[in-house]
A and B are shown apart, each in its own frame.
Chain A
Amino acid sequence: MLATALVGIAWIIGVVSGLGILLNYESTPGHVGLVPTVWPPTSRIRRLADRPTLVMLAHPRCPCTRASVAELAQIMARVQGKVYAYVLFLKPKQSLGGWTDTDLRRSAAGIRGVKVLSDVDGAEADRFGAETSGHTFLFGRDGRLLFTGGITQTRGHAGDNAGERTIESILLNDRSPVRTNTPVFGCSLGDRPQLGGIPQCLK
């Protein structure tokens, strides 16, 4: 009986520690750079003034970004063409042809109203200050930043979240945002270590 009790205690400690590590991994956001408060003038993406523009920077092989793309699909289905949306997939210069041709890219390309582009060597990611896959930006008709951050609640988990609610609230109700930045959960876009943070903006 004593052996059972000891093994039981060890089991509880082991399982709780394992869950703690998982929970910590999934709730630690990725690193974010300095985000411009207006549309970056050097960007090669065409921004039209008749509708807001949404931009998501993504890593084509990041498993966590599947949830971000799934959330983007939900947003696009709800806002029904009230926004121009782009998903920019990282494409390192030295990468082979099939490196960016992934199921994630195909999923994003399949979302109605979303244009998928390649971001060669992360040039656009640098312009937008995105360092983590799934970082999403919403710019108004006048080019001002309305929202920056992630659209998942934790790493790789789809479901209701603050980022999605904020974007939908801005696009559907034309309301001033209650929360304009959320943590971004995803793989690093560069070969940099992952650090937590909430987007900081350039003045």
Chain B
Amino acid sequence: MPEVAEKSIQSNSCANRADELFHQHQEEIYRNTDQLFVRLMPLQWLAAILMAMIISPRTWAGQSSYVHIHIWAAIFMGGAISIFPIWMARAWPGAALTRHIIAVAQMLVSVLLIDITGGRIETHFHVFGSLVILSFYRDWRGDSGSLPGSFHTRSLLALLRLWRSRREPVAINRTRRLGNLRRCLPGDLMPTQHP
């Protein structure tokens, strides 16, 4: 009997030690990935400013030109997006909230870069790149590969839906639209009204 009890104690302490080592390793991964983003965020910020300076430095009205809003967005929005997650990673390294803030910030960086580059298809690959780097957390809880990844994807989808609803005003007032058509088209070109 004492032998069985001793084996059970040994096995329990072994499992506890395994758990301890596992959590220690997991914590290390979280902290290292946080630090990876601490280095990545300023680089993305710089990239956003450079892109804005190359693609749309100035906007024009006839012969007059002004600094384009993308430059200000890259400097101020890019800065605002990047600084908070960097601070979180320094103040709360390895915390779940830090990972989520980083994921949301990474999604916002994607949105900013896509916007600055005029919606170029190539910039959308930043989303996939972000998901890959977010998967380094190996935080599997969630349905998009990782919990931060899920946060990233869901926030991005929500924002894109909002963007699209503004860009594609489906509920455009039909009467107003037909009114505009009547102003613009000769009578025989008026389209038939669909039910």
Q: Could you tell me which A residues sit within 8 Å of B by CB distance?
A: 4, 7-8, 11, 14-15, 18-19, 21-23, 25-27, 35, 37, 59, 61-64, 66-67, 90, 92, 94-95, 133, 144-146, 148, 153-154, 156-159, 176-181, 187-194, 198-201
Contacts and interface: CB of A to CB of B under 8 A. Distances in A.
Contacts of B108: 15, 19
Nearest to B52: A63
A86 B128 CA distance: 39
Interface stretch (B13-21, B61-69, B129-137, B140-148): B61-69
A191 B91 contact: no
Given A63-B68, A180-B184, A188-B62, 15 more contacts: A8-B84, A8-B101, A19-B77, A19-B159, A59-B60, A62-B60, A63-B55, A63-B59, A64-B118, A90-B62, A153-B167, A180-B181, A180-B189, A181-B184, A201-B184
A176 B115 contact: no
| Top 5 A-B pairs, shortest CB-CB distance | A63-B56, A191-B62, A188-B61, A157-B119, A201-B184
A189 B62 contact: yes
Contact of B60 (A177, A179, A188, A201): A188
Interface in B83-133: 84, 87-88, 91-92, 101, 108, 111, 115, 118-120
Contact of B62 (A11, A92, A158, A176): A92
A156 B60 CA distance: 13
B84 A11 contact: yes
Contacts of B168: 153
Contacts of B177: 179
Contacts of A178: 191
Interface residues of B, number: 44
21 contacts: A4-B91, A4-B92, A8-B101, A15-B77, A15-B80, A19-B108, A21-B69, A22-B69, A22-B115, A37-B185, A61-B60, A63-B57, A64-B118, A145-B184, A153-B168, A179-B181, A181-B184, A187-B61, A188-B61, A192-B61, A200-B184
A1 to B, nearest CB: 9
Contacts of A23: 163, 166
B59 A62 contact: yes
Interface in B177-195: 177, 180-181, 183-186, 189, 191
Contacts of A191: 61-64
B156 interface: no
A22 B73 contact: yes
Nearest to B64: A191
Given A153-B168, A179-B177, A37 B186 contact: yes
B58 interface: yes
Contact of B77 (A18, A59, A176, A201): A18
A132 B73 CA distance: 23
B81 interface: yes
A107 B182 CA distance: 35
